[in-house]
């Protein structure tokens, strides 16, 4: 990355935020015009232009969301995170990633997901990391090295999971401080976030959180433990009042779909200060995992439609890790846009795909991206032309089965490793059932896109005349 470009970009962001914050309603569209100037790729310029058009509409939901960000987030955090995320991770990082991807003929991700520890102070029902060896942990020097190697590849977004990453609060702060050009996000159960930790988070400015929650009090406590819900609410309120960036993370499964997608739940999360919501579907990872906890195809289809409704009606940014495949052109794992490193150091294509062919303790991040399993992902992505069936794990399990065998990958599941052929047999009926539902949804989506594109062309023609 060109150092001058980075400094210039951050300077523009810093001054721009100060300018916008004074009168966000009027100045927000203006500052986005500056963003177009520092963008390198044409596609980034076009995306910023589209955002600017949204910000010019006083009734647009995304405009309301942006104003909330500008007025609620602590100024230091806002400036630090905006500079690192939008300039380093996106505008300048993306071109570097694609350049290196072409040079080495490998996937170079936009983000890395890494587990500092497998230890956790809770034992949630159905947790995909529940069978990890809780004694596993990556030492600080390894974490520091991997993040440094990521930055050299143009990757300035590191996500922590686990286990419970805040078990190692001091190391999280130390890493954020040691890598001031990166932005960090920690998936957390929220129960260890206290006043002292919040003070340190504000000081470093480049650490945000995704707080896990499964619905309202009864549902959350049933899965996570007695009084966990109230502890989560307290943590959210403390972070909101301190101006920290955070959102909620929830797993939708059979029976809780309506609850976690309800207006009441989403409105509560917004009230508590969440600026984003990340939805995951339950995946039966592990030999003893229960497939009956998975959302039914009808429920998954319902969630797909509901998430898009929330986007158009609520001032919060929501994502669906599986159903948003159409926006990412399929699966993002295997280093295409992200990968996972567990607390034992195994480099996995995805947090839910517990197979690997190398370990970060004895290889560099660059060499890990060249490993057999990652190269299998690169050769086969996308795994389906239907972008509502993006995943090789639960949507196209025959693809994962093939890649594991072809690469010679081993199971990283602790204690009782799950053979890929056994997993295939377990998940295939669900995959087949979803395929039928997804086919109808995809046809419907394609027809809507066709009509929308035709309308855009008519508008463009009218403007030209």
Residue stretches of the chain with pLDDT short of 50: 1, 3-5, 7-8, 459-465
Both 25 and 117 in one domain: the answer is: no
Residue 235 has phi, psi (to 5 degrees) of -65, -40
Both 120 and 262 in one domain: the answer is: yes
Domain edge (last residue) among 316, 341, 374:
374
**What is the phi-psi region of residue 412: left when phi exceeds 0, alpha when psi lies from -120 to 50, beta otherwise?**
alpha
Both 111 and 257 in one domain: the answer is: yes
Domain edge (last residue) among 374, 404, 439:
374
Query: Residue 403 falls within a domain, yes or no?
Result: no
Both 245 and 331 in one domain: the answer is: yes
Q: Which pLDDT score is estimated for 462?
A: 47
108 neighbors 390 (Cβ within 8 angstroms): no
The size of the chain, in residues, is 465
Domain edge (last residue) among 325, 341, 374:
374
CATH code of the domain covering residue 280: 3.20.20.70
Both 180 and 46 in one domain: the answer is: no
Query: Residue 138 falls within a domain, yes or no?
Result: yes
First to last CA, the chain: 42
Query: Residue 216 falls within a domain, yes or no?
Result: yes
243 C-beta neighbours (distance < 10 Å), count: 17
Question: Tell me: the pLDDT tens digits for 285-307?
Answer: 877 788 899 999 999 999 999 99
Q: Which pLDDT score is estimated for 3?
A: 47
Helices (H), 225-260: 228-242, 257-260
Looking at residue 175, the DSSP 8-state letter turns out to be H
How many domains are contained in the chain? 2
What range defines the domain where residue 313 resides? 94-374
Both 64 and 159 in one domain: the answer is: no
CA distance 182 to 200: 17
Both 26 and 143 in one domain: the answer is: no
Query: Residue 249 falls within a domain, yes or no?
Result: yes
Over its C-alpha atoms, the chain yields an Rg (Å, rounded) of 22
Distances (CA, A) of 308 to 269, 276, 389: 17, 14, 17
Query: Residue 13 falls within a domain, yes or no?
Result: yes
Query: Residue 410 falls within a domain, yes or no?
Result: no
Residue 65: closest CA among 265, 57, 452 = 57
Both 63 and 200 in one domain: the answer is: no
């Amino acid at each position: 990355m060109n150092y001058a470009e980075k400094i210039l970009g951050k300077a523009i962001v810093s001054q721009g935020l100060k300018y916008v914050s004074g009168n966000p309603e009027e100045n927000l569209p203006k500052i986005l015009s500056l963003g177009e100037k520092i963008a390198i790729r044409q596609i980034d310029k076009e995306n910023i232009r589209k955002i600017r058009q949204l910000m010019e509409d006083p009734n647009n939901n995304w405009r309301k969301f942006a104003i909330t960000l500008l007025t609620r987030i602590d100024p230091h955090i806002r400036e630090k995170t905006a500079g690192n995320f939008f300039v380093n991770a996106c505008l300048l990082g993306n071109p570097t990633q694609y350049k290196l991807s072409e040079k080495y003929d490998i996937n170079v991700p936009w983000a890395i997901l890494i587990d500092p520890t497998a230890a956790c102070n809770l034992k949630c029902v159905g947790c995909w990391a529940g069978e990890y060896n809780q004694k596993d942990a990556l030492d600080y020097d390894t974490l520091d090295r991997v993040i440094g190697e990521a930055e050299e590849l143009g990757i300035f977004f590191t996500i922590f999971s686990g286990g419970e990453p805040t078990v190692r609060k001091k190391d999280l702060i130390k890493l954020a401080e040691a890598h001031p050009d990166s932005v960090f996000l920690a998936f957390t159960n929220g129960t260890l976030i206290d006043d002292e930790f919040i003070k340190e988070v504000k000081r470093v400015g480049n650490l945000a959180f995704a707080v896990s929650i499964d619905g309202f009090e009864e549902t959350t406590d049933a899965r996570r433990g007695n009084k966990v819900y109230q502890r989560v609410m307290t943590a959210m309120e403390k972070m909101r009042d301190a101006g920290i960036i955070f959102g909620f993370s929830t797993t939708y499964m059979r029976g809780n779909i309506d609850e976690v997608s309800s207006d009441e739940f989403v409105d509560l999360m917004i009230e508590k200060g969440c600026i984003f919501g990340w939805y995951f579907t339950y995946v039966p990872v592990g030999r003893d995992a229960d497939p009956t906890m998975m959302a039914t195809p009808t429920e998954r289809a319902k969630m797909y439609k509901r998430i898009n409704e929330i986007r158009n009606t609520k001032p919060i940014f929501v994502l669906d890790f599986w159903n948003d495949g159409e926006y990412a052109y399929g699966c993002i794992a295997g280093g295409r846009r992200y990968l996972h490193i567990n607390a034992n150091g195994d480099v996995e294509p995805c947090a839910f795909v517990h197979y690997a062919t190398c370990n970060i303790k004895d290889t560099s991040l660059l060499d890990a991206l060249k490993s057999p399993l990652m190269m299998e992902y690169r050769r086969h992505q996308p795994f389906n032309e239907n972008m509502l069936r993006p995943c090789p794990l639960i949507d196209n399990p025959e693809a994962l089965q093939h890649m594991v065998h072809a690469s010679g990958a081993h199971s990283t599941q602790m204690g009782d490793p799950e053979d890929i052929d056994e997993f295939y047999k377990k998940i295939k009926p669900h995959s087949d059932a979803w395929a039928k539902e997804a086919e109808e949804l995809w046809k419907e989506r394609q027809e809507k896109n066709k009509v929308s594109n035709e309308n855009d062309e008519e508008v463009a023609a009218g403007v030209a005349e």
